[in-house]
Amino acid sequence: MSYYGYGEYVPVAKKKEKAEKEIAKLRKKDPNLSPVIIEGRKIAKTWWGMAWCNNLESYADYKNRIGRGSSYVKNGFVIDLKIEEGLVTGKVSGSKVYTVKIKMDVIDKVCRDSIIDAVGQRIDSIADLVEGKFPKDMGDLFLTQKKGLFPSPKEIHMECSCPDWAGMCKHVAAVLYGIGARLDLDPLLFFKLRGIDANSFIKATVDAKLGNMMKNAGKTTKRVIKNADISGIFGV
């Protein structure tokens, strides 16, 4: 401790070195350890990752706390992050290794069915969905609180093993930002987190395309679709 009662200042380079040592040590016990690695200055670069981070920063409840986690995740202090249905677990290197658990309410059936139907009607393929290639109003639908994919503050329940009394400590904030970075690598994890089976999107997309084809079945056309081309049209 310093003379004034604050913790002794530790340079970022030493903190990074410590985090790397913790990763090496934990990996011996958990081969599936999954640290968050940020390349460059931005936490996220894809539509899904950026939308997640922007959504977090829009919450008035988090405004005074969320920014504290940004430097933590950028510097590689989130040494493990795993996403399951309704649950995110993480480990963050600080003065010691802290364990973070974030429970997230899954989307209710009515909202889920509405989103799946909308995706089937508007998205050409799952690849487009993953890459964020869809009309702007579709993105607005995903972002609408209580009716879309992105959770509201009340749907997020967090805890950390650190002594910080606040509802959101810097370790929790770092893990929340880490989710955005992880969605850059695999956007379908977001649907898993919110309790939506990605296969339901595939089925909805195929059903919509088949429905359109059936409507045009009675119309004469010189164009013949080969069976080998069908999978390419559906994008599955």
- The residue range of the domain holding 81 is 12-217
Domain count, the chain: 1
Q: How confident is the model at residue 233 (pLDDT cuts 50, 70, 90)?
A: very low
Which whole number is the average pLDDT over 186-207?
A: 83
Model pLDDT for residues 88-124, shown as the tens digit of each residue: 999 999 989 999 999 999 998 888 888 888 877 777 7
Residues whose CB falls within 8 Å of the CB of residue 157, separated by 6 or more in sequence, listed in order: 102, 103, 104, 105
Q: How confident is the model at residue 218 (pLDDT cuts 50, 70, 90)?
A: low
Q: How far is CA 169 from CA 68, 73, 98, 130, 172, in A?
A: 8, 13, 11, 31, 5
Q: Is 234 helix (H, G, I), strand (E, B) or coil?
A: helix
pLDDT of residue 8: 67
Q: How confident is the model at residue 149 (pLDDT cuts 50, 70, 90)?
A: confident
Judge whether 2 lies within some domain: no
Judge whether 223 lies within some domain: no
Query: DSSP character for 216?
Result: T
Judge whether 20 lies within some domain: yes
Give percent of the chain above pLDDT 70: 82
Q: Do the Cβ atoms of 184 and 42 come closer than 8 Å? A: no
Whether the predicted pLDDT of 234 surpasses 50: no
Q: Do the Cβ atoms of 89 and 176 come closer than 8 Å? A: no
- What does the alpha-carbon distance between residue 195 and residue 182 come to, in Å, rounded to a whole number? 17
114: exposed, middle or buried (C-beta count within 10 Å: 0-12, 13-18, 19+)?
A: middle
Question: 2-11, 99-108, 126-135 — which is least confidently predicted?
Answer: 2-11
Judge whether 224 lies within some domain: no
Task: Give DSSP secondary structure letters for 188-208.
Answer: HHHHHHTT--HHHHHHHHHHH
Judge whether 46 lies within some domain: yes
Judge whether 72 lies within some domain: yes
89: exposed, middle or buried (C-beta count within 10 Å: 0-12, 13-18, 19+)?
A: middle
Judge whether 227 lies within some domain: no
Residues whose CB falls within 8 Å of the CB of residue 83, separated by 6 or more in sequence, listed in order: 179, 182, 189, 192, 193
Question: 18-22, 43-47, 69-73, 208-212 — which is least confidently predicted?
Answer: 208-212
Q: How far is CA 70 from CA 44, 86, 165, 190, in A?
A: 11, 23, 20, 20
pTM of the model as a whole: 0.81
Q: How confident is the model at residue 24 (pLDDT cuts 50, 70, 90)?
A: very high
Which whole number is the average pLDDT over 151-176?
A: 90
End-to-end CA distance of the chain: 59
pLDDT of residue 7: 56
Pick the most confident of 27-36, 57-66, 191-200: 27-36
Which whole number is the average pLDDT over 189-208?
A: 80
**Residue 91, beta-bridge partner list:** 80, 99
